């Protein structure tokens, strides 16, 4: 069960913005840790463009 690498996700989002690509964040396997998935989703929901 690897932990989510949010630094890598942030870098990919920055690159997507630089490349004028509209990103989509998909969180899967939320059944394993719904609380953590909800926490991550709430952080990145604030960054919608």
Q: Measured between alpha carbons, how far is 45 from 1 in angstroms, rounded to an integer? A: 24
pLDDT in tens, the chain (49 residues): 788 899 999 999 999 999 999 999 999 988 888 999 999 999 999 877 6
Domain spans of the chain?
Answer: 6-45
pLDDT score at 10: 95
Contact 23, 16 (CB under 8 A): yes
Q: What is the three-class DSSP state of 25?
A: coil
């Amino acid at each position: 069960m690897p932990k989510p690498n949010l630094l890598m996700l942030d870098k990919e989002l920055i690159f997507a913005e630089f490349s004028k690509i509209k990103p989509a964040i998909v969180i899967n396997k939320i059944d394993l840790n719904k609380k953590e998935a909800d926490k991550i989703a709430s952080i990145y929901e604030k960054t919608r463009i």
